[in-house]
């Protein structure tokens, strides 16, 4: 996939980090620490494990930054490392999910184009309901919608992070939104 | 009204101090790891000093393993040597009774007797040929038939 500008126009000091500038690394880590932790917590729900995986993700980033060709894609690269770490952890611990992550790969419905990153605005008092609705999504749907919401990654980027075809990502996003809406409508 | 992003991130805001600590320590580590030309921070003796022991990676690790391996090999040799010395105190040397130069008097005479006896035995063996196996321990003539056929023949 060719280099593309991230929606977040903030220039990340990736070049400085390549030179070993600790201040640059700190900026990068602090930029992504909470989104990565949130993503991992939503996927694994194990606090200590998630701290470890964030740390391992950062370490892997330090060690393999040279392999990153396109600096604009640093964010999706970090998330793909975290995703791989989470999968490795799940494989090691034979995590028993209610639903298989591959459950919805056959679905091919497209996501509506007009949906933006803030297409779902939620009242403060509905936070708990939102959390509960998110919990009820399947692993793949939650993963896709989290990547979309947290970093506004494109379908292509999410496909690359999760190693599935873009059509599958669109399908997962579509079903995630539909299920979330249904759960929230029922609760609110 | 909050966006889903804010809502999600707010759920884990309390964890930020701990995440900050991780980020800071790893940033210090990264300084030593990726920026070989930049000086290491004065506060730590090694770039990985701020990391937990399980995550430390030292460039001298390979050398440490080399020295450990070498020490293990020499330790093994020493143990074998000591064990040999303990089990065979003579150290594999011939008993002095077989050394005619260092022997004198009665011992020398005894040695010569033994030597003459050994020569006699060797001569006798040369004359008659090797004694061969002890017939009492011999398994006896073997049948050319395989075991199964032998069993069949016996039946």
Average per-residue pLDDT in chain A? 79
Q: What is the mean pLDDT of residues A54-71?
A: 88
Q: Do A34 and B15 touch (CB under 8 A)?
A: yes
Name the burial class of residue A105, with classes exposed (0-12), middle (13-18) and buried (19+) by CB atoms within 10 angstroms of its CB.
Answer: middle
Question: Are the beta carbons of B26 and A62 separated by less than 8 Å?
Answer: yes
The model's confidence at residue A134, banded by pLDDT at 50, 70 and 90, is confident
Which residues in A lie closer than 8 A to residue B18 (C-beta atoms)?
51
Say yes or no for a CB contact (<8 Å) between B23 and A122.
Answer: no
pLDDT in tens, A20-48: 888 888 899 999 999 999 999 988 888 89
The pLDDT value recorded for residue B70 is 94
User: Residue B143 has what pLDDT?
Assistant: 52
Alpha-carbon radius of gyration of chain B: 40
Q: What is the dihedral of CA A100, A105, A107, A109, to 10 degrees?
A: 120
In whole angstroms, how far apart are CA B139 and each of A125, B129, B135?
Answer: 97, 21, 8
Is the ipTM, as predicted for this complex, more than 0.90? Answer: no
At residue A91, does pLDDT exceed 70? yes
Cβ contact, residue pair B5, A127, below 8 Å: no
> What is chain B's pLDDT, residue by residue, as a tens digit (155 residues)?
678 888 888 888 889 999 999 998 888 888 766 544 443 433 334 444 444 444 545 556 788 889 999 999 999 999 998 888 777 665 554 544 555 566 667 777 787 788 888 888 877 766 666 566 565 655 555 555 566 666 666 65
CA distance from start to end of chain B? 100
pTM of the full structure: 0.56
- How far is the alpha carbon of A156 from chain B, nearest alpha carbon, in Å? 20
Least CB-CB distance to A51: which of B2, B22, B37? B22
Cβ partners under 8 Å of residue B97, min gap 6: B103, B107, B110, B111, B114
Task: Find, in chain A, the residue whose alpha carbon is nearest to that of B3.
Answer: A121
User: What is the structure's pLDDT at B46?
Assistant: 43
Does position A85 have pLDDT exceeding 80, yes or no?
Answer: yes
Give how far Cα B130 sits from Cα of A85, A104, B33, B126, Å: 75, 86, 75, 7
Which among A51, A65, A150 is the nearest to B18, CB-wise? A51
- d(C-alpha A80, C-alpha B59), whole Å: 28
Establish if A19 touches chain B: CB-CB under 8 angstroms: yes
Cα dist. A43→A97, A145, A164, B148 in Å?
10, 11, 17, 68
* Per-position DSSP letters for B109-122, written without gaps between them: HHHHHHHHHHHHHH
Query: Of the candidates B2, B11, B26, which has its C-beta nearest A58's C-beta?
Result: B26
DSSP character for A122?
B
A26 contact B CB<8A: yes
Taking CA–CA distances from B12, the nearest residue in chain A reads A38
Which residues of chain A neighbour B12 with C-beta distances below 8 Å? 34, 37-38, 41
Query: What tokens does B70 get?
Result: 């070498």
B-chain CB neighbours of A117 within 8 Å are 3, 5
Q: Do A20 and B32 touch (CB under 8 A)?
A: yes
Name every residue whose Cβ is closer than 8 Å to that of residue A19 and which is 6 or more positions away in sequence. Answer: B34, B35, B37, B38
Place of tokens 């500038």: A21
Residue A110 pLDDT greater than 90, yes or no: no
Report the distance separating Cα B151 and Cα B155, nearest Å.
6
What pLDDT was estimated at residue B73? 95
């Amino acid at each position: 996939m060719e280099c593309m500008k991230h929606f977040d126009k903030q220039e990340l000091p990736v070049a400085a980090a390549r030179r070993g500038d600790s201040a640059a690394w700190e900026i990068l880590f602090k930029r992504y620490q909470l989104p990565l932790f949130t993503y991992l917590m939503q996927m694994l729900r194990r606090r200590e494990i998630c701290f470890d995986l964030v740390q391992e993700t950062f370490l892997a980033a330090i060690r393999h930054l040279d392999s990153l060709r396109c600096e604009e894609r640093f964010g999706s690269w970090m998330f793909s490392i975290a995703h791989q770490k989470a999968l490795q952890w799940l494989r090691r611990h034979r995590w028993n999910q209610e639903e298989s992550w591959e459950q919805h790969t056959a679905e091919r419905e497209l996501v509506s184009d007009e949906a933006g990153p803030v297409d779902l605005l939620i009242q403060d008092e509905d936070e708990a309901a939102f959390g509960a609705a998110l919990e009820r999504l399947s692993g793949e749907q939650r993963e896709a919608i989290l990547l979309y919401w947290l970093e506004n990654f494109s379908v292509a980027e999410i496909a690359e992070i999760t190693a599935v075809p873009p059509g599958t990502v669109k399908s997962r996003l579509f079903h995630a939104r539909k299920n979330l809406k249904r759960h929230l409508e029922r609760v609110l | 009204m909050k966006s889903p992003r804010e809502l999600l991130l707010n759920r884990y805001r309390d964890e930020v101090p701990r995440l900050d600590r991780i980020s800071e320590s790893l940033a210090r580590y990264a300084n030593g790891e990726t920026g070989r030309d930049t000086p290491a921070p004065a506060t730590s003796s090694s770039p990985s000093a701020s990391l937990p022991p399980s995550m430390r990676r030292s460039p001298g690790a390979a050398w440490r393993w080399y020295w450990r391996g070498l020490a293990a090999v020499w330790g093994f040799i020493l143990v074998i040597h000591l064990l040999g010395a303990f089990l065979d105190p003579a150290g594999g040397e011939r008993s002095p009774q077989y050394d005619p130069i260092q022997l004198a008097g009665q011992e020398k005479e005894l040695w010569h007797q033994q030597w003459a006896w050994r020569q006699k035995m060797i001569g006798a063996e040369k004359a008659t040929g090797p004694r061969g196996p002890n017939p009492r321990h011999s398994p006896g003539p073997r049948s050319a038939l395989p075991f199964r056929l032998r069993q069949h023949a016996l039946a």
